[in-house]
Amino acid sequence: MAFSNRVSVAIIGGGIGGLSLAIGLLQNKTLDVAIFETAPKFAEIGAGVALGPNAQQALALISPAAERAFRIHATTSLSPEFEHVWFDFRNGNAGEKDGEVLSKVENETGQQTVHRAKFLDELVKLIPREIAHFGKRLVHIQKDPVSGGAQYKLFFEDGTTASADCVIGADGIHSSVRKHLLGESHPAASPVFTGTVVYRGLIPMDVARDAIGEFADNSYMWCGDGGMVMTYPIDHGETLNVVGTRNNKGGWDGPPYARPVDEETVRNDFMGWGEIPSKVIQLLKQPTMWAILDHYPAPYYYSGNVAIMGDAAHATTPFQGAGAGQAIEDALVLSTLFQQVTNSGLVRPALAAYNDVRLRRTQKVVATSRDALRLFCFNDRYVDGDAQRWREVWDGRMDWLWGMDLEKQNMEAVNLFADIVARQSSTRETMPKFGPGPFPVATSTV
C-alpha cells in the first residue's frame, strides 16, 4: 500500500484534552489537523478544574503558550502558608473531633484551579479558526472505500461526512469513538454510575468570609461519614467553589447527569455535620446535583488508526483532581509520537506506542480515585476517621501521580515507536490491528 506524505488527523471533541492535542499536533507540518465538535462553539461545563504539577508540566512540554493559557486565569489558595498545600483535610463530623486535622497534603504547585470556560477560551486562541468544525455529532465510523480503505469516513448527525487517515476520540465520557472502538455491546463501552453524587455551588467570597472566616481563603476537604465537603477559591479569590459529595446513593435516573436541585435537599443530606461544612452548605444558592460516572477499564485505547484519549479512554471520578491532567498527559504523549509521523504508514505504530505507555498509568488513576473516596467518606475500615492512620495512608500516596517524569515517559513512547517500526521493516509484515477493530469497509458513500 502506498502511504501518503500528508497525514490527516480528525480530533473528535474540542474540550481541554482535544485542544491540547491539537496545539501539539499543529507543530508537525506534515499533519492536517481538524477538530469536530458537537456543540455550536467551544464550551466547557462546570466551574473549576484543578491541574497538579504533572498536568502543568505536560502543558509546558506541549507548548509554553498552552501553559501560559492556564496561568492567566489560575487561582491558588490565598494564604502564603498554603502555597504548596493541595488540601488541608479535616474531620467534618460533628462532635469532639469536629475540625481535627487529618492531613495537610502538599506538592510543588499547591492547589491551582482555573475556570474551565476561561481556560478553554485561552486555548482556543492558539487554534486556527479554519480547523474547527462545529455542530458535528459523530454517529458512525467506517473505512472509506474511496481511499481503498486507507482512510476512515466519519458520518455526522447533520448528514455531512469527512475523511481522515487517523481519528482520535477526545469526545468525553459519553464518547462515540469509544463505542465504535470497543463495540457498543462491550461492558466498558459506556459509563457507569458509581453510586456517588456531588452537589456543586458557588459562593461570593465576601459572603463566605463573613460566615467561615479564613477557612474561605484556602483549599479544605471536610471528610465525614458517607460524604465530604470540598472548598477552594476560584476566580482569583472572588468566589468560593463548593463541592459536596455523598456516596452510596443507589441508582440514578438519567440522563441528564447534571440537574438543578433544591437547597433543602442538599441541607438534608449534610444535616448534623460539623460547624464549618454546615455553614458552607447553608450558604449554597441554586446548587446543581451531578451523577459521578466512570468507565470499566477499556482493554485497549486504539484499533487500526483510531484511538481514544482523556475521558473517552479513562473517565475517572474527580477525587484526586486528576482527570483533566491525564487528558493533557495523553495529549503530550500523542503529540510527541506524532512528531515522528512523516507518512500515513506510521500512524498505527504511533498509536500502538501511545497505548502501551498510557494504558496502565491512566487506569491506575481511575482505580485509586475510587479508592480515595472511600477514605474521604470514612468507608475504609482501617483508617475510618483516625488521624494517625489517615496520615499513614496519605503520606506519599500522590507522589506517583504528581511526580511522574514526563520526559522519560515521552522517551519511552518514542523508543517503543521506533521498535515497532523496526520490526515492521525487518519482517515486511503489516502491523496487525489491536483489538477487534469494528470498522468494516463502507458499502456506500452516502
Q: Grid coordinates representing 415?
A: 523508543
Q: Inform me whether the pLDDT recorded for 1 exceeds 60.
A: no
Residue pair 150/165 in contact (Cβ under 8 Å)? The answer is yes
Residue pair 167/220 in contact (Cβ under 8 Å)? The answer is no
Instruction: Tell how strand 85-91 and strand 220-224 pair up.
Output: parallel
Percent of the chain with pLDDT over 70: 93
Distance CA(262)–CA(369), nearest Å, equals: 28
Residues 372 and 303 occupy one common structural domain: yes
Q: How many residues does the chain have?
A: 446
Residues 121 and 184 occupy one common structural domain: yes
Asked if residue 253 is part of any domain, the answer here is yes
Tell me: the pLDDT tens digits for 201-246? 999 999 999 999 999 999 999 999 999 999 999 989 999 999 999 9
Average of pLDDT values for 398-407? 95
Tell me: the pLDDT tens digits for 98-146? 999 999 999 999 999 998 888 999 999 999 999 999 999 999 999 988 7
Average of pLDDT values for 415-427? 89
Helix (H) or strand (E) holding 444: none
Question: 312 phi and psi, to 5 degrees?
Answer: -65, -30
Q: Is 8 helix (H, G, I), strand (E, B) or coil?
A: strand
**How many CA atoms lie less than 13 Å away from 146 in the CB half-sphere?**
11
Largest CA distance in the chain: 74
Domain edge (last residue) among 294, 315, 332: 294
Question: 39 phi and psi, to 5 degrees?
Answer: -70, 165
Average of pLDDT values for 15-28? 97
DSSP 436: -
Residues 145 and 267 occupy one common structural domain: no
Average of pLDDT values for 376-396? 80
Domain edge (last residue) among 273, 294, 315: 294
Closest CA to 173 of 298, 25, 359, 26: 298
Neighbours of 172 (CB within 10 A): 21
Neighbours of 391 (CB within 10 A): 16
* Side-by-side strand order, sheet with 306-308: 132-134, 31-37, 7-12, 166-169, 306-308, 302-303
Cα 265 to Cα 93, 236, 261, 271, 369: the distances in Å are 19, 30, 7, 10, 26
DSSP notation for 208-246? HHHHHGGGGSS-EEEEETTEEEEEEEEGGGTEEEEEEEE
Question: 334 phi and psi, to 5 degrees?
Answer: -65, -45
Residues 88 and 140 occupy one common structural domain: no
pLDDT at 256: 87
Concerning whether 200 is annotated as a catalytic residue, the answer is yes
Catalytic residue among 200, 246, 348, 358: 200
Asked if residue 259 is part of any domain, the answer here is yes
Q: For the chain, how many structural domains are there in total?
A: 2
- CATH label of the domain that carries residue 88: 3.30.9.30
Q: Inform me whether the pLDDT recorded for 79 exceeds 50.
A: yes
DSSP 326: H
- CATH label of the domain that carries residue 121: 3.50.50.60
Q: Which residue range forms the structural domain that includes residue 332?
A: 7-75+114-191+295-378+399-427
Residues 36 and 164 occupy one common structural domain: yes
Tell me: the pLDDT tens digits for 155-171? 999 999 999 999 999 99
Please name the amino acid found at residue 384.
Answer: D
pLDDT confidence of 379, banded at 50, 70, 90?
A: confident
Asked if residue 198 is part of any domain, the answer here is yes
Distance CA(420)–CA(433), nearest Å, equals: 13
Residues 181 and 122 occupy one common structural domain: yes
Asked if residue 440 is part of any domain, the answer here is no
